[in-house]
Amino acid sequence: MKKVITYGTFDLFHQGHINLLNRAKSLGDYLIVGVTTDNYDRGRGKLNVHRSLMERINDVREAGFADEIIIEEYEGQKIDDILKYGVDIFAIGSDWLGKFDYLKEYCQVVYLERTKGVSSTQLRIEAQSVTELGIIGSGCIAAKFVPESKYVSGIEVKGVFNPHIDSARIFCEKHELSFYTNDFEEFISKINAVYIAAPHHTHSDYIRRCLTNGKHVLCEKPLALTARETEEMYKLAESKGLVLMEAIKTAYCPAFSHLITVVKSGVIGSIKDIDVSFTMLCSDTLHNPEAEEGGGSITRLASYVLLPIFKILGYNYNDIQFYSHMVNEIDIFTRGLIIYDKAIASFKVGLGVKTEGDLIISGTKGYAYVPAPWWKTEYFELRYEDQNQTRKYFYKFDEEGLRYEINDFLIEMNKPNQKQFKLQASDSIAIASIIEKFRKIENVHLI
């Protein structure tokens, strides 16, 4: 008996899937079909699966070609399955040409021509309206956003706005967008959602203008440099029935979300201390003409380190003290101490000083440890006095990680009642209040 195996998500089951299974079946006598789990799909960066695992399995079963259906749960499983089931032929769609040549050591590999003109991606686009998004700004973070957006079906980056037209033109050509402009009215008329990746001090003005024009907004951190402005913008978005999200990518990372829920469940006891750092060496920090308008390590990096502190310990602290090293009136390193009734938190941020970028959350029963770079959380441990009780958690953080926040932004726009926000308005307001205190030189000590 000649055994054939194939794999797929088989989401939004369509004629292309049927044709593929038919062709795979014709290669042998017995067809095994592997259907991917939700966790495995998320782990490999696929964030747009619409139907549940059981629904997808049932679709494959009803097609009538599979003699056996198995579940694909982990990377490397294909080799294990080929050996376990004595497979003779591995078959997969031709859009994966060459990707699975490594399996030729174990069986014959056949790439089957896919049905042109029909795909799950196309069906997803038809099942939901496509969000045509424009980008304000054309710097390095905007350049990372465009390729990341391609991992989330239902959203398309159409164009870019920049007051400096040459920068907009170069960005548009590089990323093959539909248009570029330095005319805001032209820009806003061509899109229905906006991603703001402009300099910090321009965020609040752009947000207001976009919301006033009826556009959903995803904006890089911080939304504004004061708590009052931040709160006002959330109220404006709510009054217009629009989505406003702050793009602190760590907040939307699957592993970070799990870390917070695990810690708050009490498994490491009552939290008494949090120690978190995020530093980098930026050679242009001292020569940044926009530094006085919102630059420095607190403005650029404090949103990250304050996130786990506020998520776990809340906003009701008693005191905060900053210890900063300034060069040309720019803080290139700041350490902060936040005092609560029954806990303390410390953070370090720097653009000209480097330190270990880990996160440690200490409790009365044990502690959570996230190694550097913790803001791209892929792995964390729960550690105890008895080392045999240590628990390790592994996740995948794909590329730049922006796809997770894009996915939540799209879900909130399309299904507002599901409330997918990993970052609440209250979080953003609390973070802005800390940035505001520092910029007003409240409790700032020079070192």
Query: Could you tell me if 336 and 304 are in contact, meaning their C-beta atoms sit under 8 angstroms apart?
Result: no
368 in the same domain as 256: yes
- Give 52 or 402, the one with higher predicted confidence: 402
339 in the same domain as 224: no
Of 258, 249, 269, nearest in space to 408 by CA: 249
Q: How many domains does the chain have?
A: 3
91 in the same domain as 144: no
Examine the fold and report which residue of 72, 104, 121 is the final residue of a domain before the chain moves on. Answer: 121
407 in the same domain as 349: yes
State the Cα torsion 227-230-236-242 to the nearest 10°. Answer: -150
CA distances from 49 to 42, 75, 127 (A): 9, 18, 12
- pLDDT on residue 94: 85
273 in the same domain as 232: no
pLDDT-based confidence at residue 47 (cuts at 50, 70, 90): low
Going edge to edge, which strands form the sheet with 68-72?
Answer: 68-72, 30-36, 3-8, 89-93, 108-112
301 in the same domain as 396: yes
Q: Mean pLDDT over residues 193-211, rounded? A: 95
216 in the same domain as 79: no
pLDDT digits (tens, 9 = 90+) for 50-72: 677 888 999 999 999 999 999 99
pLDDT-based confidence at residue 419 (cuts at 50, 70, 90): low
Range of the domain at 256: 251-446
- pLDDT on residue 45: 58
256 in the same domain as 244: no
What Rg value do the Cα atoms of the chain yield, rounded? 25
pLDDT digits (tens, 9 = 90+) for 137-159: 999 999 999 999 988 877 889 99
- pLDDT on residue 291: 47
**What is the residue-averaged pLDDT of the chain?**
89
pLDDT-based confidence at residue 414 (cuts at 50, 70, 90): confident
Of 13, 19, 37, nearest in space to 120 by CA: 13
Q: What is the CATH number of the domain that holds 17?
A: 3.40.50.620
Query: Could you tell me if 140 and 148 are in contact, meaning their C-beta atoms sit under 8 angstroms apart?
Result: no
pTM of the model: 0.73
pLDDT-based confidence at residue 289 (cuts at 50, 70, 90): very low
429 in the same domain as 325: yes
Examine the fold and report which residue of 104, 121, 138 is the final residue of a domain before the chain moves on. Answer: 121
Neighbours of 426 (CB within 10 A): 13
Q: Mean pLDDT over residues 181-202, rounded? A: 95
- Percent over 90 (pLDDT), the chain: 71
d(CA 126, CA 132): 14
pLDDT digits (tens, 9 = 90+) for 223-281: 999 999 999 999 999 999 999 999 999 999 888 988 998 999 899 999 999 999 999 98
323 in the same domain as 271: yes
201 in the same domain as 108: no
pLDDT-based confidence at residue 332 (cuts at 50, 70, 90): very high
Lowest mean pLDDT among 113-122, 205-214, 239-248: 113-122
Q: What is the CATH number of the domain that holds 395?
A: 3.30.360.10
Examine the fold and report which residue of 227, 248, 269 is the final residue of a domain before the chain moves on. Answer: 248
Which residues is 383 bridged to in the sheet? 367
pLDDT(163) > 60: yes
pLDDT digits (tens, 9 = 90+) for 338-393: 999 999 999 999 999 999 999 999 999 999 999 999 999 888 999 999 999 999 98
Q: What is the CATH number of the domain that holds 193?
A: 3.40.50.720
267 in the same domain as 218: no
